[in-house]
Amino acid sequence: MADCKYCGRSAGIFSHAHKECEESHNQGVTILEGAIRSYFKGATPMSEIVRVANHVKQNNYISDKDRAESSSKCIDEWTNTIHWPFHSSHLDKIKEFITNIGVSYQDINGSGALDRLCQKMIRGFMAEYFTGQKPLQRSLQISQQVMRTLPLTVQKEQEAYYEMLGQAGKNFLKDGLMSPSEQQKVDEYIGTLGLSLINLPPSLKGTPIEEMGQASILSDIQAGRTPRYNLQAPIILGRGETAFWCYNNVTMFQEKVRREYVGRTGGFSFRIIKGVTYRTGGFKGHPVETSFMENMGVGSLYVTNKHIIFMGQMRSIKVPYSKIIGINPFSDGMEVQRDGNNVKRLVFQGFDCTFILNVLALIN
């Protein structure tokens, strides 16, 4: 015999709840969520929500856990409907709700609903900085005020800042380049918030943030400056050598027998031309045909002002730019052709090579 999880009385051998108790509970959830939605729409005062919540607790077996879950669900729905610009009324509304709903902040935030709301608001204030409507200090001040009601971990706070940075980057790079004023905005933002454009957490690889970092470095190279961002690279560099970028999880292939392979697209090398265009993912072409290429292992590919350096677990190789006579770009890598007799072609796979092509165009 099992007891009904709602009323606690015996529910029969194969059942853990009475059908009518279950129905009553579901009805209670519907009533409570309807009331909470109405509160967030501004149609019902909080005192009424408290009354409804207590009513369904007594009459519909709505536990505190149910109350927290319904709150969380309705907060997520509300988060999806509100849009920047945010006002203090938004903050007041959630504050009043959290204070009076009768379950703990942690329980309401069990699935991160309050974190998501806070992150959305922060992104909105940061958008006002990027669109020139507020100075950064003001956006930051308001964000901190919001975080006093909706506290975030440092990681979640940074996540929100990075996400906005990514959105700004997408806009800034629409024309392929960052203008000096856009660059300045980004520099102030990452400097003030303690972010980085080039030493990024793995989750941000391949995002517009990374492209912005690369675009900044390219504009520095073009202007003859040392790049403003410093790559932390565990490689030994030569005199006057600066590391610009590092791609992780790159696979190196080396030509085994020197002959053309079937299925190659194009067959021409990238012409190294002057001037920078910045668009990634522009190369069509299939992943390189590897049947005649020997897999030399996975490693990190560094781009410096003098070399491309592959540091693998099995093999490492350093190719000076002066020895590169051509590059075949692929959508997910590149083939490097080197000058000299009997030199084997190299293929690096697992990244977008736009940045390297631009570095070569500027340095050669």
Nearest to 123 by CA among 178, 82, 172: 82
261, 263, 265, 269 alpha-carbon torsion, rounded to 10°: -10
6 versus 97: smaller Cβ distance to Zn ion: 6
β-sheet bridge partners, residue 294: 254
Residues in contact with Zn ion by the rule CB under 5 A: 4, 6-7, 18, 21
18 versus 67: smaller Cβ distance to Zn ion: 18
Element (H, E) at 347: strand 346-349
Element (H, E) at 317: strand 316-320
21 contact partners, CB below 8 Å, separation of at least 6:
4, 6, 7, 61
Give the integer Cα–Cα distance in Å for 159 and 164: 9
Contact indicator for 24, 59 with CB cutoff of 8 Å: yes
Strand 324-330 relative to strand 316-320, pairing: unpaired
SS3 164: helix
Measure the CA angle with vertex 302, ends 225 and 218; round to 5°. Answer: 30
In the block, which residue shows the tokens 């329980």? Answer: 107
Report in angstroms how near the CB of residue 58 gets to Zn ion at its nearest: 15
24 versus 280: smaller Cβ distance to Zn ion: 24
59 versus 249: smaller Cβ distance to Zn ion: 59
174 contact partners, CB below 8 Å, separation of at least 6:
none
SS3 363: helix
Nearest to 336 by CA among 279, 273, 264, 252: 252
5 versus 338: smaller Cβ distance to Zn ion: 5
SS3 319: strand
Report in angstroms how near the CB of residue 31 gets to Zn ion at its nearest: 18
Report in angstroms how near the CB of residue 144 gets to Zn ion at its nearest: 48
Nearest residue to the partner Zn ion, using Cβ: 4
21 versus 142: smaller Cβ distance to Zn ion: 21
Report in angstroms how near the CB of residue 145 gets to Zn ion at its nearest: 47
Report in angstroms how near the CB of residue 190 gets to Zn ion at its nearest: 58
Report in angstroms how near the CB of residue 351 gets to Zn ion at its nearest: 60
Give the integer Cα–Cα distance in Å for 65 and 61: 11
59 versus 141: smaller Cβ distance to Zn ion: 59
Report in angstroms how near the CB of residue 35 gets to Zn ion at its nearest: 24
Report in angstroms how near the CB of residue 102 gets to Zn ion at its nearest: 24
Report in angstroms how near the CB of residue 60 gets to Zn ion at its nearest: 12
7 versus 298: smaller Cβ distance to Zn ion: 7
Nearest to 319 by CA among 304, 305, 309, 327: 309
Contact indicator for 255, 292 with CB cutoff of 8 Å: yes
Report in angstroms how near the CB of residue 115 gets to Zn ion at its nearest: 36
Contact indicator for 111, 87 with CB cutoff of 8 Å: no
12 versus 176: smaller Cβ distance to Zn ion: 12
2 versus 325: smaller Cβ distance to Zn ion: 2
Instruction: Write phi, then psi, for 298 (nearest 5 degrees).
Output: -100, 145
